[in-house]
Structure 1
């Protein structure tokens, strides 16, 4: 009994002592490791084994204030091109023989091709009849030798002798060169026995080719015989006009023929090259005046907006610039109303933008006209006229066209430039 108790106690004590010994050894090992880390004893990186928790490679990071430029990942391969083989001893290498202070100015050859990274050589030209000219020289020679294309008008004539009417059918026009957004129309004029009768087509957008297909009807005087227009003294004119977004009319071309030749041209399609306008008409102008017209049938009122002027004769504006516009409404030869705009000083291209309302019954429109005159006040009480223009059905040119467009478009503002004549 006592022996079994002693054996149990001995086994228990042995087990406890072994556990205490293991705990002491583990604590001793941990203390040794901590002491090494504090002393800075580093393990040899060559003999140490790689571990997940222990990083063997140490990185040194240095701060820098310089901007970091991204590096290109793709590099384009260098294209090797064959260099020109030169066998002539007269070749001059400008990269070696030129002076650094003075750079010679060499004319570029339009037929040569330059490659990056290659040396540039200049070969002396030799005059020979076999050399072919460059492309640019060929194009320049072609443009100078070729003639300018004028607009062409396609129309037909038909004479109705019984009704004494001349019908001109405007079919189309070609070779029109204008800016984008411009519009245009064709106007006709028949002059017989001192009387002029006008008619025009609708306004369409201009392009290289424009089709109208409209008929202009002109009533001939009573002295026209039923057999035809042979022996009659008169003239027929057709003009192609363009108007841009600023409502300025420009004559692109015109053609004229005698009234006696209508019988020969009747019932036939005609293609005619329109001749450009003469420069004398432009130089004789004393400037231009921009006006806007509108008629209100319900109120029997005519609205005239005097907008601005340009191109006035500068030789008459040396001493003083004090410009205004005088407007006179006439019925036949009777003056109905007079108005004048405010004065604009010290501006050779004045801007008024002033609207005037005039009472005018609708039945008087066909026989009424507007007379506008640009005045310069050189001294108190002294007005010097610079130019004038006339608008109405009895006028000609832009004055007739503007008045006709106003009648065709009631309650709408129609603006147009008018030349001033001294």
Structure 2
């Protein structure tokens, strides 16, 4: 019992020491393991970096240079081709002025930047030098060539083939439009022939059907004009060729006129005439308006869309621009209903895009028409008329054609430009 306390203290000390030694041994063991793993990784990396069939052990050195690298030209043009002479007659080709020169060294002229009509030269090559055609004869020849080319570019006038006959039983003048030639499609893809008979008693108009433009067109249609007084009275007939483009713009490309007194001489004869370009009179039309009309037979409704206007006279729109369109539905000479669009301010080419509906029975369409008038309200109580047009069977020109197209195509919106007149 006397030695029990020292023995217990010694055992505790030995236990602590053994624990410390065990911890140190574990730490050394961990360090050795980590070292072995790192060595294996280094060996594997070194094996990867060893030269093989796919990896070359040769080292490349890259040097930086600030000097610009000029690309090497791949194409070489050894000859200079001067402009060719205007004509290739034997006198010009065998002329003694043409000389053959050989350049041993590239001169400053050859090394300079080439002109648009020649190519650069490289080295000693044979160069053909052709003198300029400055002689008077060459100038005369070139002038003749220009005249020939200018004359060849002119398009011929369209030709119209027609015949005349006066029917004494029905008291009608019949103009048969047979065919047309040299018709150009530059001003439209469709065309038609219009006929106007003007006498002291009034003016009547007739139209052919619309055909697709080709150099040769065949109509074989008869235009009938009532003429109860006979063709001995004073008057004239005008036949015009109109082209229509995709925007429904109609352009007069040629026309001809003859007096009623010549009908007896031209009767029962085939006539070929050259249609002459019409004289442009800008004072006739004061602008244009674009309309779209349609008719619904089931509802007896006439729809009119006032779309826009253009080319209005600017002298009447100096102070105030406040534009609107007034429509009037007429049956013969009686006005049945009036409507007006909203007003558009401060625009020379106004856009409305407004639809207006009118109830018109189908049997009254042949005797009905629309009157349109473009108005400018300068101030309160002061309304100026800028132009007007009519659409219907009693109208002429585009107004009559637009109405006929509407009757032939029910339930379909048809748009067309109409000229405005004062």
TM-score, normalised relative to structure 1: 0.69
1:159 aligns with 2:159: no
Cα pair 1:94 1:120 within 8 Å, conserved: no
Residue 232 of structure 1, CA deviation? 3.2
Alignment coverage as a number of residue pairs: 343
Residues 306-321 of structure 1: pairs in structure 2 closer than 5 A: 306-321=306-321
How far does the alpha carbon of each residue in 1:321-345 deviate from its partner, in whole angstroms, 9 at most, with x for none?
1111011112223211010011111
Residues 72-87 of structure 1: pairs in structure 2 closer than 5 A: 78-80=77-79, 85=99
Cα pair 1:94 1:121 within 8 Å, conserved: no
Match of 2:137 in 1: 129
How far does the alpha carbon of each residue in 1:147-169 deviate from its partner, in whole angstroms, 9 at most, with x for none?
66322111222333334333322
Moved more, 244-253 or 153-162: 153-162
SS at match of 1:348: coil
The two structures, once aligned, show a CA RMSD in angstroms of 3.9
Match of 2:256 in 1: 255
Residue 313 of structure 1, CA deviation? 1.3
Residues 57-96 of structure 1: pairs in structure 2 closer than 5 A: 58=58, 60=60, 62=62, 78-80=77-79, 85=99, 95=109
Equivalent-residue separation in structure 1 for 2:360 and 2:154 (angstroms): 51
Cα pair 2:79 2:119 within 8 Å, conserved: no
Q: 1:64 to 1:411 in 2, by over 3 A?
A: farther
SS at match of 1:279: coil
Q: Which of 115, 120, 135 is the equivalent residue of 1:116?
A: 120
Match of 2:292 in 1: 292
Q: 1:153 to 1:116 in 2, by over 3 A?
A: farther
How far does the alpha carbon of each residue in 1:147-206 deviate from its partner, in whole angstroms, 9 at most, with x for none?
663221112223333343333222222222333862111112233551433221111111
Residues 23-422 of structure 1: pairs in structure 2 closer than 5 A: 58=58, 60=60, 62=62, 78-80=77-79, 85=99, 95=109, 114-117=118-121, 126-129=134-137, 133-134=141-142, 138-139=145-146, 142-143=149-150, 149-179=156-186, 182-192=189-199, 194-221=201-228, 223-224=229-230, 229=231, 231-280=232-281, 282-422=282-422
TM-score, normalised relative to structure 2: 0.69
Structure 1 unaligned regions, length at least 5: 1-37, 39-51, 88-92, 99-105
Structure 2 unaligned regions, length at least 5: 1-45, 47-51, 83-97, 102-106
Cα pair 1:191 1:236 within 8 Å, conserved: yes
Residue 362 of structure 1, CA deviation? 2.3
